[in-house]
Amino acid sequence: MPAPIEEYALAYVVGAAESLPITDAYVRSKEMLEALGEISKNHLLRHDADKFVDVPSVANSFAAALEAGKVFDYTSDGWAGEYVRFRANRYPKFREQFLAADAVHGTSMRVGKRFYPDVFRSYLEREIMGDNIISIADDLKVDVAPAADRMVPFNHNAPDYQEIAKGIAELHEELRGANDLEIHEDEKDRILRSLSSASLLWDAAQLKAMQIKVGVVMAVEDAIAAFGSTVRVVAAALLVDMIKAFVRNHAGIDLDKI
């Protein structure tokens, strides 16, 4: 079993954060954790990993590592309580020593830039979409036929594959920028997360047909519902048809029948 995804996330954040935009004033421990959480989230969202990584856990581990590396100063008062201060001049040495001793970072240096995108995509496919796919189908009362477990190969150079990938990305950005939707902001955020997950899934080498139906098609259909009766629905509906045609043409599977 690989290490928890939060350990990979911490190695990624420390590797990406050459410096930390944290005040050098004394603050409460809670405020320090909030700052580390925001920094971690900002780095992880580059891969949309902030949607499924436990960011507070990463922040806590980050703080513990910084404390062990003596990057913090502490002071306290009987009435006011305890304060912590970040010493920026100590961070470069801490970072160098942390990364030199971290096995995940060592692997990332050997593999190169694709390592962390591969890690986060694999986690999403296996832990979120893979393990939960049957329970999701049960909740939706989907009759899982044998075709649902068949793999659909992706040729990333194929024009129809690239057109769908572009369509999912454009749909995500259009929904993100839409301010005339008749849905709650929380629902909009949920659909945006679903589209981010769909984009990550579509970047895989292959997927089960049911993963495409639940993880990709349904995310686009949720966006269609969010757009209501606007003209944007037409383009999103065409994207659903393109995905279904892709699966039918490349794997001989009719998504409407699984």
- At residue 8 the predicted structure's pLDDT band, cuts being 50, 70 and 90, is very high
Residue 127 lies in a domain: no
Residue 176 lies in a domain: yes
User: Same domain for 137 and 25?
Assistant: no
Q: Residue 168's closest CA among 154, 179, 186, 183?
A: 154
7-22 average pLDDT score: 96
Look at residue 124 and tell me if it is in a domain. no
pLDDT at 135 over 70: no
Same domain, 76 and 171: no
What is the model's pLDDT at position 180? 81
The string of DSSP letters for 61-123 reads HHHHHHHHTT-EEEEEETTTEEEEEE-GGGHHHHHHHHHHH-HHHHHHHHH-TTHHHHHHHHH
Average pLDDT score over residue span 124-139: 56
137 and 68 housed in the same domain = no
Same domain as 136, residue 88: no
Total-model pTM: 0.55
Are residues 141 and 105 part of one domain? no
Number of neighbouring beta carbons within 10 Å of residue 137: 17
Q: What is the pLDDT of residues 205-251, one digit of tens each?
A: 888 888 898 889 988 998 888 887 666 788 888 999 999 999 999 99
Residue 117 lies in a domain: no
110 is written with which tokens? 């050997």
Structural domain tally of the chain? 2
Do 236 and 180 share a domain, yes or no? yes
CATH number at residue 11: 1.10.10
Say yes or no: 148 and 56 in one domain: no
- Do 243 and 140 fall within a single domain? yes
pLDDT score of 129: 59
Rounded CA-CA distance 104/102 in Å is 6
What percent of the chain has a predicted confidence (pLDDT) above 90? Answer: 54
**Structural domain boundaries, residue 150:** 132-257
Same domain, 93 and 144: no
Do 103 and 138 lie in one domain? The reply is: no
15 lies in the same domain as 101: yes
- What is the average per-residue pLDDT within 105-111? 94
Same domain, yes or no, for 107 and 153? no
- Sort residue 204 into left (φ over 0), alpha (ψ -120 to 50) or beta: beta
